[in-house]
Amino acid sequence: MDQFLSLTVLGVCTASIFALAASGLVLTYTTTGIFNFSHGAIGMLGAFAYWQIHDDWGWPTPIALVLVLGVLAPLLGMGIERGIMRFLTDAPETVRIVVTISLLVALLGVGFWLWPAEEAHPTSLLFGGESFTLFKVGITYHRASGVVLGILVALGLRVLLYRTRVGLDMRAAVDSRSLAMLNGARPDRSASLAWAIGCSTAALAGILIAPALSLNHISLTLLIVSAYAAAMIGRLRSLPMTFVGALILGLADSYAIGYIPTTNAYFSAFRFAIPALLLFVVLLVLPNPQLRSRSIRASKEEIPRTPWKNAFATAAAIVMAAVVMANVLGDADSLRVSKIFGIALIALSLVPLTGFGGQISLCQMSFAGIGAIVMAHHGQAGQPVALVFVALICCVVGGLVALPALRLSGIYLALCTAAFALFLDVWVFRLPAFDLGPWNIKFFDVGIIAVKPLDVPGVNDSSNAAHLVVLSVVFALFYLLVVGVRHSRFGERLLAMKDSPAACATLGLDVTRLKLAVFGLSAAMAGVGGALFAGTQGSVSPDRFSLFESLPLLLLAVVGGIGTAAGALFAGLILGGLPIIIGIWPALASLNRLLPGTMGVALGRNPNGAVHDLSARYRVLLGAPSLLAGLVVALMAASALAMAGVISGWGLTFAGVLALGVFPPAAEFVVARRNPGTAPPALEWAGIDGPFTGEELERVNEGLHLEEVSV
């Protein structure tokens, strides 16, 4: 009984910290309509900032708290709102989700950059660790302060939202921003205040829980999963129910510490999976969200229907580029480039799911991990037939994940897949082998599994260069499969579901079957990609397939262009290519953590991705055939010199980048000189693709209030 009472008291203290984090999350969503996936990363930065000021610099506790909670955290919140979130007011929910996830990745990268994980960051308790006794239970003033602050924050937010004009303006702006402005509200100011308060509560939660987590970047960021679950119990609206959810989580965590035996290898890590499991269950029992259609505003997003001739040409170009690289790069460099195709294949699995179907998944690397496990245990010699088992098993798992997710969309679907990924990451992947009836189930055994590269008959399996070509062929085949999906009726139905689920339901389209099929297809592709990627690694651990590995994969695929294979290649080049660059210039190590997040933050202004913009820039070469031919000749000449050994593989890379950077501006200049009446390329990109007519100049004249215009 004494143990139960002690665990209950400690659980209430922990629950107060979860409640603080969740209340800020609910405030931000209730007042701005944006679900902040980066809330935990903000709390992590707040905890590290407090450590820097108080523990490292030695400033007094009150000054450090005021500086972090009253200055730095609010400034960060207002900066995020004004610099990023203000531009997402009319953005689709998918874009909002991806941008806040990218902010999480960027802030996590900032944390690793400013406070490296390999350095020790010893933390101290508030009030010097002094304690008192309550019901025969020793409680530190640090823990007790969390309970008091949680109650005060809850009451303060309740008064702010329902007893002040500012709170009324906040809630009104979410319902109808324009109507609120007509009644004298200032939505931008209200949003800035909401983000400032939300960041302060996240920082406070991070400071209070940091001593228990040893100031660990990932653990502090994952605090938000508990906040997600608590906020979902409150339906993202009710602060009292949010605190009830936090209490359930806090007590569950405390009882798990006391009653789950740590000596049992199967349940020793189960405690860390409880928030993800509870979040998953809460999402299942929530009432079905209503089917929604898009707003009437025109969308700039394009999902091209690539002609088959162009698709085969692209696939051939991918394989030929791999053949050239295999002949000019060394064995070690060929292995590094092979990883790019492995990652790109996993990213390609997002094209039918997210690009065509509009379904966000944060667990693609989890499917890839399952593929690596199956390949390790059933394809020990790299047999190609093992990929069939990989695809089938991952397809079944994808369908099982889709079953509870069928009724979810938007942030609910993203959270559901994130909970599944975290559940595998912190518990399932780390389980020892066990028997399930006649089957022996194995995961990562002792933490690392060996995976052999794919062994294709007639191909030297000991050659990394040959393996590079094999991976490029597999990627090209799956690229053609994705193009085939886009051309099929299945692809058209996916696009219809993405555009308007309500209209699809009205027309009798079976949305349930569509979701099951696309989740299964996507999971199978990700599993095959994971198996091949693991083969390039030789051996892999579960950390390589964690939730935090899925986030940059999704971000970069969307940033590159989620509607085409170009986005998948873009993700592969960044995630697989940056480590190569860092190996040459170690000083750029922080770039690997910062770049994916910072690139994703700008997504709201460019829904078609970076590759779409690049293709538009190179399209000008079609107007200058001689320069287009010159570019092709230059690239072929550089490749020939590299294959002859005159220049190195990196010399070929430099020559290619130089040629691709010089020829398009030259083509723009030639086209402009040849056709002086046409608009400059900059105006073409703005939608002006020809000279003004006399009538158009007259209208310009009237608009500028000029008296005369010469034509």
Copy the structure tokens of residue 528: 């095959």
What pLDDT is recorded for position 79?
A: 92
pTM, rounded to two decimals: 0.83
Phi-psi region of 448 (alpha: psi -120 to 50; beta: other; left: phi over 0): beta
Print burial letters for 198-223: b (CB count within 10 Å at least 16), e (below 16).
Answer: bbbbbbbbbbbbbbebebebbbbbbb
Residues 526 and 368: beta-carbon distance below 8 Å: yes
Mean pLDDT of 255-260: 87
pLDDT exceeding 70 applies to what percent of the chain? 80
- Least confident range from 176-190, 209-223, 672-686, 692-706: namely 672-686
What pLDDT is recorded for position 610?
A: 60
Q: How confident is the model at residue 85 (pLDDT cuts 50, 70, 90)?
A: confident
- Inform me whether the pLDDT recorded for 603 exceeds 90: no
What pLDDT is recorded for position 164?
A: 83
What pLDDT is recorded for position 674?
A: 66
Mean pLDDT of 221-234: 84
Rounded Cα distance between 483 and 308, Å, is 8
Phi-psi region of 393 (alpha: psi -120 to 50; beta: other; left: phi over 0): alpha
More confident site: 633 or 710: 633
Q: How confident is the model at residue 297 (pLDDT cuts 50, 70, 90)?
A: very low
CB neighbours of residue 699 within 10 Å: 12
Q: What is the pLDDT of residues 627-679, one digit of tens each?
A: 777 777 777 777 677 666 777 656 666 676 677 677 777 777 776 666 655 54
More confident site: 328 or 352: 352
Rounded Cα distance between 139 and 132, Å, is 5
* Nearest to 608, CA basis, from 685, 680, 552: 685
- Inform me whether the pLDDT recorded for 266 exceeds 50: yes
What pLDDT is recorded for position 702?
A: 66
Distances in Å between the alpha carbon of 170 and those of 31, 32, 609? 5, 7, 32
Which H, E and C letters describe 319-380, residue by residue? HHHHHHHHHHCCHHHHHHHHHHHHHHHHHHCHHHHHHHCCCCCCCHHHHHHHHHHHHHHHCC
Q: What is the pLDDT of residues 141-183, one digit of tens each?
A: 998 998 999 889 988 988 888 888 777 777 666 666 666 666 6
Rounded Cα distance between 401 and 105, Å, is 24
What pLDDT is recorded for position 509?
A: 79
Q: What is the pLDDT of residues 561-576, one digit of tens each?
A: 888 777 888 888 888 8
Q: How confident is the model at residue 460 (pLDDT cuts 50, 70, 90)?
A: confident
- Inform me whether the pLDDT recorded for 296 exceeds 60: no
- Inform me whether the pLDDT recorded for 345 exceeds 90: yes
Task: Provide the 3-class DSSP secondary structure of residue 449.
Answer: strand
Sign of the C-alpha dihedral computed for residues 495, 533, 270 and 230 taken in this order: negative
Residues 565 and 317: beta-carbon distance below 8 Å: no
Distance of CA 176 to the CA centre of its chain: 29
What pLDDT is recorded for position 684?
A: 45
* Nearest to 197, CA basis, from 61, 26, 14, 13: 26
What pLDDT is recorded for position 523?
A: 96
What pLDDT is recorded for position 292?
A: 44
Torsion of CA 519, 520, 522, 526, to 10 degrees: 130
More confident site: 509 or 11: 11
Rounded Cα distance between 369 and 424, Å, is 9
Give me the helices (H) in 454-540, please: 464-487, 489-499, 501-506, 511-537
Mean pLDDT of 108-131: 86
What pLDDT is recorded for position 611?
A: 62
Q: Where are the domains of the chain?
A: 2-259, 309-610, 618-704
Rounded Cα distance between 44 and 638, Å, is 48
CB neighbours of residue 658 within 10 Å: 12
Q: How confident is the model at residue 372 (pLDDT cuts 50, 70, 90)?
A: very high
- Inform me whether the pLDDT recorded for 483 exceeds 90: yes
Q: Euclidean distance between the first and final Cα of the chain, in Å?
A: 94
What pLDDT is recorded for position 497?
A: 86
- Inform me whether the pLDDT recorded for 619 exceeds 70: no
Rounded Cα distance between 314 and 323, Å, is 14
Mean pLDDT of 420-426: 91
Q: Phi and psi for 435 in degrees, rounded to 5? A: -100, 135
Rounded Cα distance between 108 and 115, Å, is 10
Q: How confident is the model at residue 32 (pLDDT cuts 50, 70, 90)?
A: confident
More confident site: 97 or 669: 97
What pLDDT is recorded for position 6?
A: 87
- Least confident range from 140-144, 213-217, 229-233: namely 213-217
Rounded Cα distance between 7 and 663, Å, is 69
What pLDDT is recorded for position 291?
A: 42
* Nearest to 467, CA basis, from 591, 583, 340: 340
- Inform me whether the pLDDT recorded for 547 exceeds 80: yes
* Nearest to 52, CA basis, from 111, 104, 105: 111
Copy the structure tokens of residue 637: 């000449």
Q: How confident is the model at residue 375 (pLDDT cuts 50, 70, 90)?
A: very high
